Amino acid sequence: MELSTFAALLLAAVAVITLFRHLTRRKLNLPPGPKPWPIIGNLNLLAGPLPHRNMHALVQKYGPIMQLQFGSFPVVVGSSVEMAEAILKTNDVKLADRPKIAAGKYTTYNYSNITWSQYGPYWRQARKICLMEIFSPKRLDQFETVRVQELHSLLKKLFLSAGKPINTRDNFSDLSLSVISRLVLGKNYTVKSGSQKEYMSPKEFKEMIDELFLLNGVLDIGDSIPWLAFLDLQGYIKRMKAVGQLFDGFLEHTLNEHQKRRRGVKDYVPQDMMDILLQLSDDPNLEVQLDRTAVKAFTMDLIAGGTESSAVTTEWAMAELLKKPEYFKRATEELDRVIQASVANLLHGFKWKLPGDMTTEELNMQEIFGLSTPKQIPLVAEIEPRLPAHMYSM
C-alpha cells in the first residue's frame, strides 16, 4: 500500500471516529460561558496582571455560575452565596478533590500536605489533627504568651521608629513570621540566633517563604495544557523544584533538632506544633500512619498558611483606614475600650498618618495577583505614640 493511500485512510478513520463521538455525545445542560478557542480554551480571557479582575468581568456578563475552558479542562465558576453553598456544602463530597497541579507535586511532597492532598482518609485525618490537636482552644491558650511577646516586640520597634516613614508590610510580615515560626518550630527564624551552626539566615528564610507562596499562586500553562508541561515555558517548574528542595532541607534540619531534643525524655511534653506532629506520628491508633514526609508537609502548611495571609490582611486594613480618616478616628475611639487583635493594638498604641504631604487620593489601593492578593505597592506610613513611653517596653 502506498504511503499516500495509507495516510488518506488514516485521516478518514480519524474523521469517522471524531464524527461518531460528536453524534453520540450526551448533551449536557452546561452553564453559560464564553466560547473557547482550540487548545487554550478561555485562558486568553484571563491574560494580564490581574486575572481575578478579568474573572469578575466575566461573572458580570455570564452570571453567578458559568463555565470556562482552561486549556484541556472545563471549569465551573460559582460566584454567589447560593452557588458557594451548592458547591461547598450541598455537593461538598462530590467536589472535594483538589486539582493535581505542578505546585502541589513539586513544592508539597507530591500532594502530601493538607492543601493539595485528595479527599479521603488521609485528608480527613489531617483535618481532624488540625481541629482537635493543633488548633484546639487548649493549644491556642498554651501559645498565647508567644503571640503577646511578639506583638509587644513590634510595638516597641514601632515606638523607636516614631516620626519616620515605615514600611508596614515588612513589619507586619515579620510579626506573622516570628509568631508562626515560634509556634510551629519553637524558634524565631526571623532574627539571628548568634549560633555559628545556623542553617539559614533570616533573609533566606523569608525569601524561601515568599517564593513558596508565590509559586503556589501562579497560573502555570502546563496545569491547563498537560502536554506542554515538560517544556516549562514560564520557568515555574524549575523554581518549584528548587524551593521544594530548599524547604525540604530546612525541614529535615528542624526535624532532626526536634527528635534529638525528645530522645530519651520520658513523658516528653510538646513545646511546639512540630513536637505535636512528631508525637502523633508515634501513635499506632491513627487511621493513617503519619510518616516523616507527612510531618514535613503538614509543618510546611502551618508555616506558609499562617504567614502571608495575616500580614496582607493587616496591611489592607491599615490602608483602608488611612484612606478614610473618619473611620480611623472612630475605630481608634472604639478600640480604646476593647483591645485584643493586633490591628487593635496598632491603632490603640499609635496615631497613624500618610508620609509627608501625601493625600488620601494619592494612596495606591491597587493589588497584584496571588494567593493572598497583596497590595501592589507596600503601605508606607508615619506613626506617633499615643501612650506613655513605658507602655511600649513591657
Residue 175, all three cell numbers: 510579626
Domain ranges across the chain: 3-95, 121-323, 338-391
| Whole-number Å distance between alpha carbons of 208 and 193 | 18
Q: Are 289 and 270 in contact (CB under 8 A)?
A: no
Give the model confidence (pLDDT) of 349-394 as tens digits: 889 999 999 999 999 999 998 888 899 999 999 999 988 887 777 6
| Whole-number Å distance between alpha carbons of 77 and 87 | 10
Q: How many C-beta neighbours within 10 Å does residue 147 have?
A: 16
> Going by C-beta distance under 8 Å and a sequence separation of 6 or more, which residues neighbour residue 304?
209, 212, 213, 216
Burial class from Cβ neighbours inside 10 Å (0-12, 13-18, 19+) for residue 33 reads buried
pLDDT of residue 27: 67
- pLDDT by 10s per residue, the chain, length 394: 454 554 555 555 545 555 555 555 566 788 999 999 999 999 999 999 999 999 999 999 999 999 999 999 999 999 999 999 999 999 988 888 889 999 999 999 999 999 899 999 999 999 999 999 998 888 888 888 998 899 889 989 999 999 899 999 999 999 999 999 999 999 999 888 766 577 899 999 999 999 999 999 999 999 999 999 999 999 999 999 999 999 999 999 999 999 999 988 888 899 999 999 999 999 988 989 999 999 999 999 999 877 777 888 889 988 988 998 888 777 776 655 544 456 677 887 889 999 999 999 999 999 998 888 899 999 999 999 988 887 777 6
Report the CATH fold assignment for 121-323. Cytochrome p450 (1.10.630)
What's this model's pTM, rounded to 2 decimal places? 0.85
Q: How many C-beta neighbours within 10 Å does residue 230 have?
A: 9
Give the model confidence (pLDDT) of 147-177 as tens digits: 889 988 998 999 999 989 999 999 999 999 9
